[in-house]
Copies of this chain bind each other. A is one copy, B any other.
Amino acid sequence: VPYPPEHKAKTRARIIEAARVMFNRHGFEQVSIDEIMKHAGLTRGGFYHHFPSKEALYAEAVRSFTSCNPFSRKLAAHEGPPPSPRALARMLVELYLSDDILGDVDQHCPLIALPSDVARAGLKPRNAYTKVVQNMLHVFARAFPTDDARAEQKAQLIVNLCVGGMVIARTVTEPALRTEMRAAARAQALSILAGNTQRTRR
């Protein structure tokens, strides 16, 4: 064994992280393998020792957000007793729609940074994207009592609001709109989490 066994895994992880950032900034097609490898401190040629294709790396980069994201980092830095599921959900809404995240594309969730890119990609990136959605739904669904028959639907609503608000805010050029769309989404999402009754048509 010429290199320490964890050596290749570390390099691989470095490439994925570099790719995640570069894809967030410029999208899938606009980033070259050359640039990703350079950003990871490597050169073009080694790429295919780690991934079978650019698209396979794309799927890995999307999926990697589940385990490494600003929300997890915030929780890891959190002191004191662990927050309740409901408090956790509130924190996620606030963070997701915050000015800090809007202004920092590198940290964007793939749901915000890459929706139309992934929609046109192959099955592997789309499956990875689906996993990220399900992960987010799960955090919100747990915020409601286990006997709440509408918990799943409410979680879906909150995800819709967070994603819709951020996708529009980050694309639109009108500053007022960039703030208001997120403010409306935040207020409604927090209202749903607070348990306000939602009358709903069937």
Contacts and interface: CB of A to CB of B under 8 A. Distances in A.
A194 B27 CA distance: 39
Number of copies: 2
B156 A163 contact: no
A161 to B, nearest CB: 5
A184 B156 contact: yes
A32 interface: no
Interface stretch (A8-16, A42-50, A124-132): A124-132
Interface of A: 26-27, 29-30, 111, 113-120, 123, 126-127, 129-130, 133-134, 152-153, 156-157, 159-165, 167-168, 170-174, 177, 180-181, 184-185, 187-188, 190-191, 194, 196, 198-202
A55 to B, nearest CB: 13
A143 B194 CA distance: 27
